[in-house]
C-alpha cells in the first residue's frame, strides 16, 4: 500500500535559520511522482514541486531545495534562511502513474512550520 | 495562469438547508477534484471528474452531490448536512496526459460551518 510519512508534526525556528522537513514514502510501483505543497493560514494549497521517480537530481529554487533519495525512499525539503512568510503547513504527497485521465494524491499528515522573528 | 477559483469563501448553513459550492478553472484542465479537509488533517479526496465524467467517488455520503456542467466548472451540492461535515472544502484541477499524473492546482477553498 502507498503511504507518506511526515514524522515532524510541528517545527519552530527563528528567522534566518535553515530548516529541513522530512518526507518518507512507501510504494510498490517503479513509476511514481512526489509533490510538496504549502498551505498558509489562508487555506489554499500552493504547489511547490513535482518530481518523478526516474529523476533523482536535487533541485534548488531560491531559498528552497529538495533532496530526493530513492535508496531511502525520502524526499526532504529544506528552506534556507527561513522567513516569517514561510510559516505554514507543508504537505508531502505521492501519486502513482496510471490511466484514466486523473491521479490520486496520497498526502502525508503535514508539518506545521512556525518561523518567529 | 494557474488559478482555480471557489465560491463562496465562507458558508454557514443549517442542517435542513440546501446550498452549493462552486469551482471554476480556465486552464483547459480535464480533471477536477473535490477534497474535504478537517482542522490539522491533510486533505481527503471526495470526488474526481475526468473529462466531465465522475471517475472516483470515495464512498462519500449522498448528502454530498457533485456535478460537472462543463469542463471548466465543478459544483458540490449540499443537503441535510451534519455538524461533523464542517470543514474546508478544496477544489483542484489538473491537465492529464494518459498515464502521467499531472500537478493538481488547488483553489482557496470554502470554509463550511454546519449548525
Instruction: Give the pLDDT confidence of B27-56 residue by residue, as tens digits.
Output: 999 899 999 999 999 999 999 998 899 988
Which pLDDT value is given to residue B58? 84
CA distance A108 to B24: 27
pLDDT bucket at A100, cuts 50 / 70 / 90 = low
Beta strand ranges found along chain B (DSSP E): 4-7, 10-13, 18-25, 31-37, 44-50, 53-57, 64-70, 73-79, 87-94, 105-106, 110-114
Mean pLDDT of all residues belonging to chain A: 93
CB contact under 8 A, A101 and B33: no
Which pLDDT value is given to residue A104? 87
Which pLDDT value is given to residue A31? 87
- Contact list in B for residue A30 (CB cut-off 8 A) is none
Which pLDDT value is given to residue B102? 85
Mean pLDDT of all residues belonging to chain B: 92
Q: Which of B41, B56, B106 sits opposite A44 (nearest CB)?
A: B106
Which pLDDT value is given to residue B2? 62
Whether pLDDT at B99 is above 70:
no
The mean pLDDT of B74-89, rounded to a whole number, is 96
Which pLDDT value is given to residue B96? 74
End-to-end CA distance of chain B: 37
Cα dist. B97→A42, B50, B91 in Å? Answer: 31, 11, 20
pLDDT bucket at B76, cuts 50 / 70 / 90 = very high
Phi-psi region of B9 (alpha: psi -120 to 50; beta: other; left: phi over 0): alpha
Q: Which residues are paired to A33 by β-bridges?
A: A52, A95
Backbone angles phi, psi at A76, to 5 degrees: -90, 155
Backbone angles phi, psi at A30, to 5 degrees: -90, -20
Whether pLDDT at A92 is above 70:
yes
Q: Which of A46, A100, A107 sits opposite B55 (nearest CB)?
A: A100
Which pLDDT value is given to residue A101? 64
Which of the pair, B51 or A90, is modelled with greater confidence?
A90
What is the 8-class DSSP label of residue B80?
Answer: S
Residue B50 sits at the vertex; the CA angle it makes with B73 and A4, to the nearest 5 degrees, is 105
**Interchain CB contact of A110 with B (< 8 Å):** yes
Amino acid at each position: 500500500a502507498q503511504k507518506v510519512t511526515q514524522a515532524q508534526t510541528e517545527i519552530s525556528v527563528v528567522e534566518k535559520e535553515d530548516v529541513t522537513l522530512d518526507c518518507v514514502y512507501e510504494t510498490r510501483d517503479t513509476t511514481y511522482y512526489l509533490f510538496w505543497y504549502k498551505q498558509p493560514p489562508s487555506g489554499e494549497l500552493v504547489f511547490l514541486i513535482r518530481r518523478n521517480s526516474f529523476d533523482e537530481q536535487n533541485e534548488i529554487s531560491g531559498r528552497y531545495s529538495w533532496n530526493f533519495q530513492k535508496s531511502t525512499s525520502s524526499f526532504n525539503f529544506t528552506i534556507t534562511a527561513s522567513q516569517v512568510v514561510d510559516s505554514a503547513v507543508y504537505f508531502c504527497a505521492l501519486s502513482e502513474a496510471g490511466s484514466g485521465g486523473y491521479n490520486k494524491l496520497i498526502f502525508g499528515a503535514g508539518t506545521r512550520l512556525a518561523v518567529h522573528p | 495562469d494557474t488559478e482555480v477559483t471557489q465560491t463562496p469563501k465562507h458558508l454557514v448553513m443549517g442542517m435542513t438547508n440546501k446550498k452549493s459550492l462552486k469551482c471554476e478553472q480556465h486552464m483547459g484542465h480535464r480533471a477536477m477534484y473535490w477534497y474535504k479537509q478537517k482542522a490539522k488533517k491533510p486533505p481527503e479526496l471526495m470526488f474526481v471528474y475526468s473529462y466531465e465524467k465522475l471517475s472516483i467517488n470515495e464512498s462519500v455520503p449522498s448528502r454530498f452531490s457533485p456535478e460537472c456542467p462543463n469542463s471548466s466548472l465543478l459544483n458540490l451540492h449540499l443537503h441535510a448536512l451534519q455538524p461533523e461535515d464542517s470543514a474546508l472544502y478544496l477544489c483542484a484541477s489538473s491537465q492529464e496526459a494518459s498515464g502521467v499524473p499531472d500537478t493538481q492546482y488547488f483553489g482557496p477553498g470554502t470554509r463550511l460551518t454546519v449548525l
